Each structure stands twice: as structure tokens, then as C-alpha cells.
Structure 1
Amino acid sequence: MNHNDEITMAPGHDNTQVLGLDFHNPVFPLSALAIIAFILYALIYPDAANTQLTAARGWSIEHFDWLFMIVGNIFVLLCLVLIVLPLGRIRLGGENARPEHSRLSWFSMLFAAGMGIGLMFWSVAEPVAYYTDWYGTPLNAAAGTPEGASAAIGATMFHWGLHPWAIYGVVGLSLAFFAYNRGLPLSLRSAFTPLLGNRVRGWPGHLIDITAVLATIFGLATSLGFGASQAAGGLNYLFDVPNTLGTQIAIIVGVTAVALFSVWRGIDGGVKLFSNINMVLALLLLLFVVLTGSTLLFLNGLWDTTLAYASHIVPLSSWIGRDDTTWYHGWTVFYWAWWISWSPFVGMFIARVSRGRTVREFLTAVLLVPTLVTIVWMSAFGGTALAQSAAGVGELANGISDVSLAMFHMLEQLPLTTLTSSLAILLVLIFFVTSSDSGSLVIDSITAGGKTDAPRGQRVFWATLEGVIAGILLYGGGDAALGALQAGAVATGLPFSLVLLVMCVGLVKSLRQEHRDLVLAGAT
């Protein structure tokens, strides 16, 4: 095929080999220096860093809420259109490419990397928070009423359904297409080749990749740090384990150690293994909640959750004339900025494991299947939590006092509390491992110039660095330092939203060219 608007660029074309490492100049050294500089700043001035970056995050959310909403809506529509158009028949890797993983393992890895860990906490905490007016209510629905319950579960599904997965899907599809169909490096810069041409080899490409590395590692380190605090809170609640800094550091060390084992073994022996384990454990916990709670409530909840999502998705997608500004900015726009900042990491990992899938199969698995699974999960966990809150049963009757304990408060009202809560903690920890592992693979690929077979030592370096960053910030600056890191990651959502829009243009342009070439060749 002749693609005049694109270039050929071999993975690792500007790489340097030092001490057994194979890294890309200047992405690897500049990323490392930027990370070190930020950590030092956050440690020396944690409160100032938190204040400044939180202000930057707040400014972007307040003034560009319309942009985040438009971008999210465009991605959903684009993915749905690509599923039904003839472009959906294009196969990632060419007509003869075949998938490397079974559908079940493939989906398990997608879900574990995408948002599995978030659903463990927020599937319970979020609908109850909205229902009890913890921080405003969606669309100003009356708290504590049936209408408020419908808005609560509908808004939670809105935040964890089509929109975030569409963001991941667009990035993942772009990266997979340009890597497997155009022979470009598996790196974020490759998706901009149709628009930047040879300039992706230079500083525009370097800056794109460096920003992706920083957003990924800061997001992962933040999640690991806050997750250690949440896991320690759960252990304290269940087993009276002291919720101290030492406990939280020990959790980070333990998770990082398992992640190192996983990342050393690679995708098949590491990420795939732990993702499959997680899916089995999550299914067991889901079945337990359904069978020991109210099965009838769950079955009714499937319909109620689906209906609530369908009836609220349009008004929640609008940015015009909103009266629930506090809730809208504090939840929806924040989520959209967070998902966008995470999209280089999740999108690239999805691309990494999706060779051989058609565009239609890819987007169906990345967009529609996770949404359906989330409806089931939310109907069980969110529905049970709302029922307990509405009936005045247990701690959830008083709303949310601690997000990290919401799941345990819900499980406390069901049989075998200690066993199921222990299973929930184990699930959280394994989700942390899969997130750290997949993130290390992604960062390693970017900093190795798009190579997927860089030395194992580099993957180990990045996995270790994630744990070190989380531990140091937790030890040296506490929640203020971690908050600064999170605010910095979310603030990158604003420039990245524009970057992703440009990426969409290049993707559609190249898919249309690919389809024309296939039609001329008689392949489709």
C-alpha cells in the first residue's frame, strides 16, 4: 500500500544502549528528570504543591467543563459509528493477523487495566453518596427519594459506562492501528503521524511521549498511594490492624513486590495470569452478593439500573444550563479529566494485547461489553447499598463517611462478612498489581521508542519506581503530596483532551484510506 501521508519509523530508531538498558533519547532521560524534580518539589513543599496544582485542576474544570463534555460525547459517538460502518471490518495487523489471546483472557486484561479497582470502591460509595446528598445530587434530584435513587444509580453508571471506555477505546484503537497496520512504534506519537508527518520524530513527538509517561506514572503512583491508605483502612476495620504509615508502606512494598514478579514474567505469565485470577474472584464475590442479598432485588435492579442509565445519559451529557454545578464539576467533569489523563496508559495497554482483532470486535469489547458488565456489577453492589441506605440498615443509612469502608459496610449486612471482606481486600490488592504491571509495560514501551521487547530490567525499573514514588510521597508529604500528584495528573486532562481530538482526525483519515485500499485490493 502507498500511504503518502504517513512515514515509516522503526521502533527504537533513536535508542541508546547503556548498562543493559535500551532506552529512547531523549524521552527516557527527560521523563526520569521530570519525575525526580516533581517528587523533590512535592516533598519539600507538599502543601504549596498541593495548593497550586489543585488550583490548576480547579481552573481547568471550571473554565473548560464544556470542552471535557464535548470531547467525551464525541468519543462515544465516534466509537458507535465505527462499530456499524464498513470501517469496522478492518483487522488490526492486516487481514492475516490473528489474536494472541483468548476472548476471555483478553477481556479480563482490558477490564483489570481499565477500571476494575475503581469499581471495587465506587460501585457502593458513589450511588449512596448521591442518594444521601454527600456532595450534591445529580441534576438536583431530591435526596432520599425514589427519584433520587434512580438519579444516583444512573449517574454512577454514566461515570463508569460508555464515556470512559470510549475515551480508552479511541486511544487504544489509534495506537493499535498505527502500530500493527502501519508498522510504526507502539508509542503515543505514532497516532499523530498523519497530521505531523516526519515531525513526530522530533520534539513534537518527544513532548507527546514524555507527557504520556508523566501522566501514566503519576496516575499509577497516586492510585497506589491512596489505595494503600484505603486497604489499610479496611484491614483496620476488619482485623484491628493499626492503620499507620508503617502499614501503608508495607502494603505498597508488598504490592510492588508482586508486581515485580508479574512484570518480570511478561504479559502471558504476569498480567494475563493475575487478570484471570481477578475475574474469577470478582465473579465469586458478585455471585455471593446476588445470592445472599435479595436475588429479586438484583433482577429488578438490572432493569432499574439500565433504565436509569438510559433516561439520564442525555441530560447528564449536557453542559448547558446545568443547575447542579457543584455536583457536576466535582464529579462528572473531574472524572472526565481523570479518564483522559489515564487514556495514554490504558489505551496503550489495550492496544498492546489487541493485535488480530477487527475494529468492530475491538470497540465492542472495549466499549459495549464493559458497560454491560458494569450494569450487572452496579445492580448487585450499588443496588444492594442503596437498598440498605433507604431501609436505614447499617452504616450506609447515615451516608458515606469514609469511601474506603463503604464496600465493607455493605458486606457487613450479609453473611460471612469476614470471608467476603477479606476477598474484597484481596481483589483490591490484585487489581493494584495488574494496574502497576500493565502501567510498567506501557511506560517501558514509550521510553524504549515503541519497542515491546525491551530488556526486562527496564520494566522492573519502572515498576519499582511507581512503588518508590508512592512510598516516598506518602512518607514525606502524606495526603498533601499525593493530592498534589493527583491534581497534577488530572490537570493534564485539559491539554490531552485537545490532543485526543487531533488523534481522532488522524485515525478516521487513516481508517478511510485503509478501507479504500482494501476495497481496491478486493479484500473487503
Structure 2
Amino acid sequence: METGGTDAPDHTPPAESVIQTDYKIGRDNVEGYFGPFGFDIHNPVFGISAVSVIILVIFTLAMPDLASNLFQALFSTVTSGFDWFFIGAADVFVILCLVLVLSPYGKVRLGGRDAVPDFGYASWFSMLFAAGMGIGLMFYGVSEPLSHFSSSMGGTSIGDAGVRSDWAPLGAAPNQDEAVRLGMAASIFHWALHPWAIYAVVGLSLALFTYNKGLPLTIRSAFYPIFGERVWGWPGHLIDILAVLATLFGLATSLGLGAAQANAGFNKIFGMPVSENMQVILIVVITAIALFSVIRGLEAGVKLLSEINMGLALVLLLFVLFVGPTMLLVTDMGSFLMAYFKYLPALSNPVGRDDLNFMQGWTSFYWAWWISWSPFVGMFIARVSRGRTVREFIISVLLVPSLVCVIWMSIFGGTAISQVVRDGYTAVQDADLPLQLFVMFDKMPLSSITSFIGIILVIVFFVTSSDSGSLVIDTITAGGKVNAPVPQRVFWCVFEGVIAIVLLLSAGGLKSLQSMVISTGLPFTIVLLVMCVAIVRGLASEPR
């Protein structure tokens, strides 16, 4: 299989596959036709997805106040009414992944018995991590541990986060040391096993049914054991449309966060005004860079940028580790990991919770956000994971990135908390969320250089998310093809930027972006739960 983004993978089903299907029906269905501007359109997924987004953009621009009120009501209703559902579903995904690792199904190789990996471990880890949650870690790596630490102590508001004492996860801690541990455990909880289990479920299902069963690389293929040939009709269309919308809004939210943080960083270093107009300019410029990467394809564009970004992230991580309270961070890292496992049962409990504001305002939103990202990240991971065994795939996708997130949160969050607790440096605690990373750097040597590197990381994570997301949406709307025309890739990349700009400029700002993530994350959670059943059925049909 060529990995340069120019040739489609060989979807011929392996001889040992025991799923009997009329592949001609599937292939005829994904052929599509060449519409205006040379688009390879897979009807009706492309048309309905594009029209739905255009209607939303027009509605938001024409009636911004009504749209803002609607978005905020939607956010409140879903997070408060379905918090138990999001948390319970995420628990199911983690349990399924752990069971598959330990089961005989772990020996199944994605692509057949003789398949070999298309990418080495270094490139593979770089791409899945950069696409998975790079912008989020840059934005929340300092601010979230600080927020949970302060609220666990029964603290007050932090910047514009609106954190109150009743946000405290599991109630206020009895002392400062335990508040630090609880705050770090709550932060790691949102970035470790559960989100990566969501990605692993989608990635595994797509890789299995594409490389082992010969079906197209699109979300609907994972549901063949459930719907049979109907997957090529409206049940499959609806699944793919929902996947496109979830991906678009999940990416738009991340782009909005990235623009806000980049704007704050440029203000800190160069005095650039902090405003929505500047953030719009940043989104336009960075989307243009993403367009260049999209046109270059997977190997020359996304892979190269991902490896550059991981190198910069490692440099920044090591700098903070060795310039900050090194011994304290090294010794506390193990303590934070133990605290995560200690509080994991309580944090992942979906019922009978008293910390409703934490459960609904943080965890429910996070899980909906990860689920909205799952079609994009899962398909991207599947596309670069051919040749791995199921056990190797799950361990790598689930445990390795989780460990990196633990290290990142422990070093960045631990350094910021140490500045507050040991040095009395309250400026980092009082700063607005997008600025807290850069205020933390102010307390260190070479702050201008590290802040600039931080901005570059945000921008490149921004670009890798946008370009890889565009490739994935393009693949879904082309019926599973990975070599759809370049104008079609450009179309979706531009649309991501447009959605982020429109929702950012609406009366609700980032809250509007978060509301759309919630709205698409809820129905797609049901899709993922059904996908779990399909994975088990698909693996059961593989020869062992």
C-alpha cells in the first residue's frame, strides 16, 4: 500500500476472511460521480453534509443572538441530562479495549497474516498523537491542573474559567498535598485511558473491516455485521453524515481554542491585540498553511509536520522539566499516576455523584469532545496502522499516548502548581486560561524563546489537526476513497476554518463551538456503542 495519499489501499478481502459479502454492491456504491469542480461526490453524504453546514453558517450569521441562546441551552441540556450516558459509555470503551488485549483476538493482524506495518513506531506515534489531542494539551496542560487543584481546596474563580468550589472533583480535599494529587488525578483522567479508548474503538473497527474484510475506508463499513447490505443504503448514509458533522464541529472547537491561545501568546511576546478579529486572522492564516499540507498529502504533509511538532514538544517538555523543580516533578510523577488509579473508580462512576458541576461541566463535555473527534482520529489512526496486531494496536494507541499525557500534565501542571504553592507566584493562577502557559514561562529563564516555541507548537498542532481532519472528511464523503481529487480536500479544509470563524464570532464565542460538539457527540456515542458489538462480531469471524 502506498502511503503518500495518492493511491487507494487494496481493499481486496483476504482469502481467509469468512464474511461473505457482495463487494460489487459496496464498490458500486462508493464510486460516486464527478460533480462540479471535479469533486468525486459520494451521494448523498457529500451533499447533505455540505448543505447542513452551510445552513448552520447562514443561520448563525443572520440571527447571532438567537443562535447563541440556542447553543447555550443545548449545551446545558445535554451536559446535565446525559452526563451519566457519556461517562458510562466511555467506561464501556475502556473495558472493551482491555478485554481485547487479554483475549485471543489480540493475535489477529490488521491486514491479514502476512501484512507488515506501513510506518515505523516513531512516525506512527507522532502522527496519532499530533492528530489526537495536541492542541488540547497545549491549552489545558497548565490551566486544568491549576483549576482542579484550586477547586479541590474549595478555592475561588481562576481567570475566566468560572471555577467555583462546587466544581471540586469528589469534594474538597483535606489538605494541600491531597488537593494537588486530586487535581492532577482529575486532569489525567480527562486525557489518559478514556479518551484514547474512544479513539482505539473507532480506529480498530475501521482497520479491521477495511484491511481484513475488504470494505471501503469509511465509518459505515464497521456496521456491516449489524446491517448487512443495508449499510450501503440510508443507514450507512446517516452514519457517515453524522461522522462528517461530528468531525467538523470537533475540529472547529479545537481550532477556536488554538486561535485563542496563539493570540494570547502573540500578545504576550509582540503586543498583538487580543480580540476576535485577530483570532479570525490567525484561523485564516493557519488554515492556509493547512491547505498547503493537505495538497501535499499524507506522507509529505501530515507525516512531516507531525514529526516536527513532536520534536518541538519534546524539547519544550525537557526544558520545563530541567529548568523547573526537577526532582519534585520526577518524584511526584509516580505519585500523580497512583492518585489517578486511586480516584479512577470514583471519577468514572456515572451515577450518584455529588460533584455535578465537575461531572457535567468538565467530564461530560470532554467525553463529547473526544467522541466528536473519534471519526477523524480513529480513521486517521486506522489509515496508518495496517500491519499491526490487535493487541499491539490497542496497547500502542491506548497506553503509550496515555503515558505521554500523564508525563505532560505532571510536568506542566506540576510546575505551575509548584510556582503557586512553593513560590507564591499567583500570577499564573490569576491569568486567563489561554495565557496561563505563557505566564508560567515568565517565571523561567529564556521566557521569550519558550513562549515563542509554545506558539509555534500551538500553530503546528493546529495545522496537523486541520489537514489530517480534512483528509479524513474527504475520505468519508468520497465513500472510502483515499485518493479523492485535491479540490475536494481543499473544500473541506476551508469549511473547517469557516465554521470555526462563524461560531467564534457568534454571541456565544467558544461556548457556541462547545455546544455544537455536544450536539453531535451525543448521537455519535450511540454509534460507537453499536460499533463495539460490530468489532466483536468481526474479530470472531477471523481465523485464529
Which of the five TM-score ranges fits, normalised by the shorter chain?
A: over 0.9
2 CA distance for matches of 1:379 and 1:489? 27
Matches within 5 A, 1:25-424: 25-133=43-151, 134-135=163-164, 136-142=167-173, 145-396=176-427, 399-424=429-454
1:281-334 CA-to-partner distances (Å, cap 9, x unmatched) read 000001100111121012112111111111111111112321111111111122
The answer for the alignment partner of 2:477 in structure 1 is: 447
User: Deviation at 1:394?
Assistant: 2.6
- Please say which of residues 47-56 and 73-82 is displaced more in the overlay: 47-56
2:16 is the alignment partner of 1:10: no
Q: Unaligned regions of 5+ residues in structure 1, if any?
A: 520-524
2:495 is the alignment partner of 1:495: no
Q: In structure 2, the residue corresponding to 1:138 is in which secondary structure?
A: coil
1:330-351 CA-to-partner distances (Å, cap 9, x unmatched) read 1112211211122111111111
1 CA distance for matches of 2:81 and 2:348? 17
Q: In structure 2, the residue corresponding to 1:506 is in which secondary structure?
A: helix
User: Deviation at 1:179?
Assistant: 0.9
**Residue identity matched to 1:47:** D
1:467-514 CA-to-partner distances (Å, cap 9, x unmatched) read 23323444xx34525532430221222211111111100110110111
Q: In structure 1, the residue corresponding to 2:40 is in which secondary structure?
A: strand
Contact 2:506 / 2:512 at 8 angstroms: preserved in 1? no
**Residue identity matched to 1:100:** D
- Please say which of residues 380-389 and 243-252 is displaced more in the overlay: 243-252
1:456-476 CA-to-partner distances (Å, cap 9, x unmatched) read 2211121122223323444xx
TM-score, normalised relative to structure 2: 0.91
2 CA distance for matches of 1:500 and 1:445? 19
**Residue identity matched to 1:416:** L
The answer for the alignment partner of 2:159 in structure 1 is: none
2 CA distance for matches of 1:122 and 1:396? 17
The answer for the alignment partner of 1:426 in structure 2 is: 456
Q: Unaligned regions of 5+ residues in structure 2, if any?
A: 1-15, 152-162
1:324-379 CA-to-partner distances (Å, cap 9, x unmatched) read 11111111122112111221111111111111111111111110001111111122
The answer for the alignment partner of 1:522 in structure 2 is: none
2 CA distance for matches of 1:42 and 1:14? 34
2 CA distance for matches of 1:466 and 1:320? 36
User: Deviation at 1:402?
Assistant: 1.1
Q: In structure 1, the residue corresponding to 2:322 is in which secondary structure?
A: helix
Distance 1:102 1:345, change over 3 A: same
Contact 2:474 / 2:484 at 8 angstroms: preserved in 1? yes
The answer for the alignment partner of 1:511 in structure 2 is: 539
Aligned residues between the structures: 513
Contact 2:503 / 2:512 at 8 angstroms: preserved in 1? no
Contact 1:30 / 1:210 at 8 angstroms: preserved in 2? yes
Contact 1:65 / 1:329 at 8 angstroms: preserved in 2? yes
- Please say which of residues 220-229 and 333-342 is displaced more in the overlay: 220-229
**Residue identity matched to 1:121:** F
1:182-233 CA-to-partner distances (Å, cap 9, x unmatched) read 1111111111110011111111111111111111112212322332122112
Contact 1:88 / 1:358 at 8 angstroms: preserved in 2? yes
2 CA distance for matches of 1:63 and 1:483? 18
**Residue identity matched to 1:96:** D
CA RMSD of aligned residues (A): 1.7
Contact 1:71 / 1:501 at 8 angstroms: preserved in 2? yes
1 CA distance for matches of 2:414 and 2:510? 32
Q: In structure 2, the residue corresponding to 1:139 is in which secondary structure?
A: coil
TM-score, normalised relative to structure 1: 0.94
Contact 1:42 / 1:484 at 8 angstroms: preserved in 2? no
**Residue identity matched to 1:57:** F
Distance 1:244 1:17, change over 3 A: same
1 CA distance for matches of 2:475 and 2:535? 21
2 CA distance for matches of 1:154 and 1:81? 24
User: Deviation at 1:4?
Assistant: 5.0
User: Deviation at 1:7?
Assistant: 5.0
Q: In structure 1, the residue corresponding to 2:34 is in which secondary structure?
A: strand
**Residue identity matched to 2:145:** P
